[in-house]
Amino acid sequence: MDLGIKGKTALVCAGSKGLGRGCAMALAEAGVNLVLNARGEQALNATARQIRDAYGVTVVTVAADITTEEGRAKVLAAATGIDILVTNAGGPPPGLWSDWSRDDFIKAIDGNMLTPIALMQAALPGMIAKGWGRVVNITSGSVKAPIPQLGLSNTARAGLTGFVAGTARQVAGHGVTINNLLPGIHDTDRAVALDTGVTKAEGITMEQARAKRAATIPAGRYGTASEFGAACAFLCSQHAGFIVGQNLLLDGGAINATL
Protein backbone atom coordinates (compact mmCIF):
# COMPACT_ATOMS: atom_id res chain seq x y z
CA MET A 1 0.00 0.00 0.00
CA ASP A 2 1.27 3.49 -0.85
CA LEU A 3 1.08 5.39 2.43
CA GLY A 4 1.04 8.71 0.57
CA ILE A 5 3.66 10.39 2.78
CA LYS A 6 6.73 10.24 0.54
CA GLY A 7 8.79 13.45 0.91
CA LYS A 8 7.33 14.38 4.29
CA THR A 9 9.62 14.90 7.30
CA ALA A 10 9.33 13.12 10.64
CA LEU A 11 10.99 13.60 13.99
CA VAL A 12 11.42 10.22 15.66
CA CYS A 13 12.55 10.52 19.27
CA ALA A 14 14.47 7.78 21.05
CA GLY A 15 14.83 6.06 17.69
CA SER A 16 18.25 4.41 17.55
CA LYS A 17 16.99 1.07 18.89
CA GLY A 18 13.87 -0.89 19.67
CA LEU A 19 10.38 0.39 18.93
CA GLY A 20 11.51 3.91 17.96
CA ARG A 21 13.93 2.41 15.46
CA GLY A 22 11.10 0.24 14.09
CA CYS A 23 9.01 3.39 13.54
CA ALA A 24 11.91 5.23 11.90
CA MET A 25 12.56 2.29 9.56
CA ALA A 26 8.91 1.99 8.50
CA LEU A 27 8.54 5.73 7.90
CA ALA A 28 11.75 5.78 5.87
CA GLU A 29 10.48 2.84 3.82
CA ALA A 30 7.46 5.02 3.00
CA GLY A 31 9.84 7.72 1.72
CA VAL A 32 9.77 9.98 4.79
CA ASN A 33 12.90 12.02 5.62
CA LEU A 34 13.93 11.82 9.25
CA VAL A 35 15.27 13.75 12.16
CA LEU A 36 16.41 10.92 14.39
CA ASN A 37 17.23 11.26 18.08
CA ALA A 38 18.77 9.17 20.86
CA ARG A 39 21.40 9.86 23.51
CA GLY A 40 24.16 7.48 22.41
CA GLU A 41 25.88 8.70 19.25
CA GLN A 42 27.27 5.36 18.14
CA ALA A 43 23.98 3.47 17.84
CA LEU A 44 22.26 6.60 16.51
CA ASN A 45 24.77 7.02 13.69
CA ALA A 46 24.70 3.30 12.89
CA THR A 47 20.90 3.29 12.61
CA ALA A 48 20.93 6.48 10.53
CA ARG A 49 23.46 4.92 8.15
CA GLN A 50 21.39 1.73 7.80
CA ILE A 51 18.26 3.78 7.05
CA ARG A 52 20.00 5.96 4.43
CA ASP A 53 21.50 2.88 2.78
CA ALA A 54 18.23 0.97 2.75
CA TYR A 55 15.79 3.70 1.73
CA GLY A 56 17.77 6.67 0.34
CA VAL A 57 15.99 9.22 2.53
CA THR A 58 17.65 12.11 4.40
CA VAL A 59 18.42 11.34 8.05
CA VAL A 60 19.58 14.14 10.35
CA THR A 61 20.81 12.83 13.71
CA VAL A 62 20.62 14.70 17.01
CA ALA A 63 22.31 13.03 19.97
CA ALA A 64 20.52 14.40 23.03
CA ASP A 65 18.50 13.40 26.06
CA ILE A 66 14.94 14.14 24.95
CA THR A 67 13.72 14.27 28.55
CA THR A 68 15.76 17.40 29.35
CA GLU A 69 14.92 20.95 28.29
CA GLU A 70 18.37 21.42 26.70
CA GLY A 71 18.06 18.11 24.85
CA ARG A 72 14.62 18.96 23.51
CA ALA A 73 15.79 22.42 22.41
CA LYS A 74 18.63 20.83 20.44
CA VAL A 75 16.31 18.30 18.81
CA LEU A 76 13.58 20.82 18.01
CA ALA A 77 16.11 23.22 16.46
CA ALA A 78 16.88 20.50 13.90
CA ALA A 79 13.22 19.62 13.42
CA THR A 80 11.56 22.84 12.31
CA GLY A 81 8.68 22.33 9.89
CA ILE A 82 8.16 18.62 10.61
CA ASP A 83 5.01 16.93 9.32
CA ILE A 84 5.17 13.89 11.59
CA LEU A 85 6.16 13.55 15.25
CA VAL A 86 6.83 10.22 16.96
CA THR A 87 7.40 10.71 20.68
CA ASN A 88 9.29 8.11 22.66
CA ALA A 89 11.79 7.82 25.52
CA GLY A 90 13.12 5.11 27.77
CA GLY A 91 10.62 3.72 30.26
CA PRO A 92 10.85 4.18 34.03
CA PRO A 93 12.43 1.42 36.15
CA PRO A 94 10.34 -1.28 37.84
CA GLY A 95 9.86 -1.27 41.62
CA LEU A 96 7.38 -1.38 44.46
CA TRP A 97 4.60 1.18 45.05
CA SER A 98 5.80 1.90 48.59
CA ASP A 99 9.41 2.66 47.62
CA TRP A 100 9.07 5.49 45.12
CA SER A 101 9.92 9.01 46.28
CA ARG A 102 8.56 12.29 44.96
CA ASP A 103 11.76 12.61 42.90
CA ASP A 104 11.15 9.19 41.31
CA PHE A 105 7.64 10.28 40.29
CA ILE A 106 8.85 13.64 38.97
CA LYS A 107 11.50 11.90 36.86
CA ALA A 108 8.97 9.46 35.39
CA ILE A 109 6.40 12.17 34.75
CA ASP A 110 9.07 14.37 33.16
CA GLY A 111 10.24 11.61 30.83
CA ASN A 112 7.02 9.87 29.86
CA MET A 113 4.38 12.58 30.21
CA LEU A 114 5.76 16.14 30.18
CA THR A 115 8.36 15.41 27.47
CA PRO A 116 5.85 14.19 24.85
CA ILE A 117 3.50 17.03 25.84
CA ALA A 118 6.29 19.61 25.35
CA LEU A 119 7.17 18.08 21.97
CA MET A 120 3.53 18.25 20.87
CA GLN A 121 3.22 21.85 22.04
CA ALA A 122 6.27 22.69 19.93
CA ALA A 123 5.24 20.76 16.80
CA LEU A 124 1.47 21.24 16.63
CA PRO A 125 1.36 24.95 15.68
CA GLY A 126 3.42 24.30 12.52
CA MET A 127 1.26 21.31 11.58
CA ILE A 128 -1.93 23.32 12.16
CA ALA A 129 -0.58 26.13 9.98
CA LYS A 130 0.08 23.62 7.17
CA GLY A 131 -3.30 21.93 7.62
CA TRP A 132 -1.69 18.50 7.92
CA GLY A 133 0.17 16.62 10.60
CA ARG A 134 0.52 13.31 12.37
CA VAL A 135 1.58 12.61 15.93
CA VAL A 136 2.11 9.13 17.34
CA ASN A 137 3.08 8.70 20.97
CA ILE A 138 4.66 5.43 22.05
CA THR A 139 3.07 4.73 25.44
CA SER A 140 2.39 1.28 26.90
CA GLY A 141 -0.24 -1.41 27.34
CA SER A 142 -0.01 -0.38 30.99
CA VAL A 143 -2.49 2.45 30.34
CA LYS A 144 -5.17 -0.17 29.61
CA ALA A 145 -4.10 -2.77 32.15
CA PRO A 146 -1.68 -1.53 34.82
CA ILE A 147 1.51 -3.52 35.35
CA PRO A 148 2.01 -3.62 39.15
CA GLN A 149 5.82 -3.41 39.16
CA LEU A 150 5.76 -0.57 36.60
CA GLY A 151 3.74 1.85 38.73
CA LEU A 152 5.84 4.82 37.63
CA SER A 153 5.01 4.02 34.01
CA ASN A 154 1.31 3.44 34.81
CA THR A 155 1.16 6.86 36.46
CA ALA A 156 3.04 8.99 33.92
CA ARG A 157 1.50 7.41 30.84
CA ALA A 158 -2.04 7.71 32.18
CA GLY A 159 -1.44 11.46 32.41
CA LEU A 160 -0.20 11.63 28.83
CA THR A 161 -3.20 9.60 27.67
CA GLY A 162 -5.55 12.13 29.25
CA PHE A 163 -3.75 15.04 27.57
CA VAL A 164 -3.94 13.34 24.17
CA ALA A 165 -7.63 12.49 24.56
CA GLY A 166 -8.51 16.16 24.94
CA THR A 167 -5.95 17.70 22.60
CA ALA A 168 -6.51 15.30 19.69
CA ARG A 169 -10.09 16.57 19.40
CA GLN A 170 -8.92 20.18 19.41
CA VAL A 171 -6.50 19.82 16.50
CA ALA A 172 -8.33 17.25 14.33
CA GLY A 173 -10.22 20.01 12.46
CA HIS A 174 -6.87 21.28 11.16
CA GLY A 175 -5.96 17.97 9.50
CA VAL A 176 -3.72 16.98 12.40
CA THR A 177 -4.18 13.63 14.12
CA ILE A 178 -2.74 12.49 17.45
CA ASN A 179 -2.87 8.84 18.44
CA ASN A 180 -1.07 6.59 20.89
CA LEU A 181 0.50 3.20 20.21
CA LEU A 182 0.44 0.91 23.24
CA PRO A 183 3.13 -1.78 23.11
CA GLY A 184 2.74 -5.02 24.97
CA ILE A 185 5.82 -7.21 25.26
CA HIS A 186 8.20 -6.63 22.34
CA ASP A 187 11.58 -8.12 21.63
CA THR A 188 13.82 -5.12 22.39
CA ASP A 189 16.56 -4.16 24.88
CA ARG A 190 13.82 -2.97 27.24
CA ALA A 191 12.35 -6.50 27.23
CA VAL A 192 15.81 -7.95 27.93
CA ALA A 193 16.19 -5.57 30.89
CA LEU A 194 12.78 -6.55 32.30
CA ASP A 195 13.47 -10.27 31.71
CA THR A 196 16.82 -9.91 33.49
CA GLY A 197 14.90 -8.55 36.49
CA VAL A 198 12.67 -11.65 36.42
CA THR A 199 15.71 -14.00 36.30
CA LYS A 200 17.10 -12.31 39.43
CA ALA A 201 13.81 -12.11 41.32
CA GLU A 202 12.80 -15.71 40.59
CA GLY A 203 16.20 -17.41 40.27
CA ILE A 204 15.46 -18.70 36.76
CA THR A 205 17.37 -18.57 33.46
CA MET A 206 16.80 -16.00 30.74
CA GLU A 207 15.29 -18.69 28.53
CA GLN A 208 12.85 -19.65 31.28
CA ALA A 209 11.96 -16.01 31.95
CA ARG A 210 11.23 -15.41 28.26
CA ALA A 211 9.20 -18.60 27.92
CA LYS A 212 7.21 -17.66 31.00
CA ARG A 213 6.35 -14.21 29.63
CA ALA A 214 5.68 -15.50 26.10
CA ALA A 215 3.20 -17.98 27.57
CA THR A 216 1.11 -15.02 28.82
CA ILE A 217 0.63 -13.82 25.23
CA PRO A 218 -2.10 -15.51 23.14
CA ALA A 219 0.07 -14.99 20.02
CA GLY A 220 2.66 -17.13 21.81
CA ARG A 221 5.59 -14.81 21.13
CA TYR A 222 7.02 -11.35 21.71
CA GLY A 223 6.16 -8.61 19.21
CA THR A 224 8.77 -7.26 16.81
CA ALA A 225 9.94 -3.70 16.28
CA SER A 226 9.22 -3.95 12.56
CA GLU A 227 5.55 -4.86 12.99
CA PHE A 228 5.27 -2.09 15.58
CA GLY A 229 6.84 0.33 13.11
CA ALA A 230 4.42 -0.70 10.37
CA ALA A 231 1.48 0.21 12.62
CA CYS A 232 3.11 3.56 13.35
CA ALA A 233 3.67 4.30 9.65
CA PHE A 234 0.02 3.51 8.91
CA LEU A 235 -1.15 5.93 11.62
CA CYS A 236 1.10 8.54 9.98
CA SER A 237 -0.24 7.82 6.51
CA GLN A 238 -2.73 9.71 4.34
CA HIS A 239 -5.19 6.88 4.98
CA ALA A 240 -5.35 7.47 8.72
CA GLY A 241 -6.81 10.98 8.75
CA PHE A 242 -10.06 9.83 10.40
CA ILE A 243 -8.28 7.99 13.26
CA VAL A 244 -8.27 10.57 16.04
CA GLY A 245 -7.30 10.28 19.71
CA GLN A 246 -7.13 6.50 19.69
CA ASN A 247 -5.08 4.13 21.84
CA LEU A 248 -4.02 1.20 19.68
CA LEU A 249 -2.84 -1.82 21.64
CA LEU A 250 -0.18 -4.04 20.05
CA ASP A 251 0.16 -6.89 22.51
CA GLY A 252 -0.55 -10.19 20.76
CA GLY A 253 -3.83 -10.41 22.68
CA ALA A 254 -2.20 -10.32 26.11
CA ILE A 255 -4.74 -7.97 27.68
CA ASN A 256 -7.95 -9.99 27.96
CA ALA A 257 -10.59 -7.37 27.19
CA THR A 258 -13.43 -6.90 24.72
CA LEU A 259 -12.64 -3.25 23.91
Binding site for ligand NAP (CB under 6 A): 14, 16-20, 37-40, 43, 65-67, 88-91, 138, 140-141, 183, 185-186, 188-191
Q: How far is the CB of 191 from ligand NAP (least distance, A)?
A: 4
Q: In the complex with ligand NAP, which residue's Cβ is closer, 6 or 212?
A: 212
Q: In the complex with ligand NAP, which residue's Cβ is closer, 19 or 235?
A: 19
Q: In the complex with ligand NAP, which residue's Cβ is closer, 225 or 240?
A: 225
Q: How far is the CB of 88 from ligand NAP (least distance, A)?
A: 5
Q: In the complex with ligand NAP, which residue's Cβ is closer, 86 or 171?
A: 86
- Name the packing angle between helices 41-55 and 18-29 (round to 10°): 20
Triad 9, 58, 35: Cα angle to 5° = 50
Q: How far is the CB of 195 from ligand NAP (least distance, A)?
A: 10
Q: CA-to-CA distance for 27 and 237, rounded, in angstroms? A: 9
Q: How far is the CB of 44 from ligand NAP (least distance, A)?
A: 7
**Measured in whole angstroms, how far is the alpha carbon of residue 164 from the centre of its chain?**
14
